[in-house]
Structure 1
C-alpha cells in the first residue's frame, strides 16, 4: 500500500481543495443526503475554510503524488463550515485548559476512499492538537463520517441540523474524544 504524505495546506492549494471537496461531497455523501441537500451544501457549508489555512492547521494528504484528501483541526470556536458560511463562524481562540479543539473539514477524494486517508489525517490532527495542549477534541460529523470517527474513539454527544439555502438542512452529529489525560504532558 502506498504511503500517505501529510503536509500543511497553502493558499495555492485552494482551487484543488475546492475541486476535491465538491467531488467528495457529491460522490461519497450520495445515499446519505438527498441530491438537493448535497448541491445546497456544496454551495454553502462545505468548502475551504481559509482561516484554517492561515492558522496552518489544515492539511493535504497525498498518495501517489496526488491530492487524496484534506482535513484539519482548529483552536478557534467555529465548529463547522467553509469561510463563506457565516452561520457557525466564531473565530475566537479557544483555551486548551477548558475548551475542546475542533476537528474540521475532512474530505477524501473518491478515488482514494477507504485507503486510510481519513485515519492518517485524523491521527495527525489529534497529535498536533495534543501538542498544543488540548485535552479534548470535538467536531460536527456528517453522517457518512460518523463510522470513521467512532472507530477512532469519538462518542456522539448530540445531533443537530445545519441550515442550507432553500429551506433545506443536513443532519450532523456532534462528536467528542478525550486525547489527553490530566497527568499527560504533550510531546
Structure 2
C-alpha cells in the first residue's frame, strides 16, 4: 500500500470509494435514510477541483494499483467551526474492505505531515459519528456536536449529527 497525490485519473475510483465507504461504514452512525442521502451526494460530487486546488492536498492510498482510500486537507480555517484552527481535514474515506487495517491512519498521517510542512499548527474537522473513534484514536479532541444537512438535491432536508474536532500538530 502506498499513499500518493491524487490525479484527475483517480476521480471515478475516488467516487466509488467514497460511496462504498458511506454505504457500509456510515451505517455505524446513521440510519438508512441518512446514509442514502449522504451517499447520493457522491454521484454529483466534483472531485477534480479539489484535486487541482493549490489551497490543500488530496491524496489516495492504493493497493495493487487500486485506489482503496483517499483524504483531503485544506490549509485555511473553516468558517463554520467554533474552534480556532489553521486548517481542516475535509475527509478521510476508506473502502470497507480495508477498514481498520491502518490504511486510513496512513492517509491521515500523510495529511497531517503535509499540513505541518505548510505551517499549519492546528487542524479541525467535522467527523461523522462512525468516524469519531478513529479520530479520537489519533488524538483529535471533541469540540461540539452540530447538525449537518446531508448534501444531495434528492434528499434535501435530511440531517444528522456530526462532531467538530481539533488537534494540535
What per-residue deviation string (whole Å, max 9, x for no partner) do you get for residues 95-122 of structure 1?
xxx8421112211001111110110011
Q: Over aligned residues, Cα RMSD in angstroms?
A: 2.1
Shift of 1:10: 1.2
Q: How many positions carry a matched residue from both structures?
A: 159
The answer for the alignment partner of 2:158 in structure 1 is: 168
Change (3 A) 1:14 1:102: same
Cα distance in 2 between the residues matched to 1:45 and 1:13: 14
The structure whose residues are more often helix, as a share, is: 2
Give me the TM-score of the superposition, normalised by structure 2. 0.85
Gaps of 5+ in 2: none
Shift of 1:166: 3.7
Give me the TM-score of the superposition, normalised by structure 1. 0.77
Gaps of 5+ in 1: 80-87, 89-97, 180-187
Change (3 A) 1:19 1:130: same
Change (3 A) 1:169 1:66: same
The answer for the alignment partner of 2:8 in structure 1 is: 11
The structure whose residues are more often strand, as a share, is: 2
Q: Relative contact order (alpha carbons < 8 A, sep ≥ 6): 1 or 2 greater?
A: 2
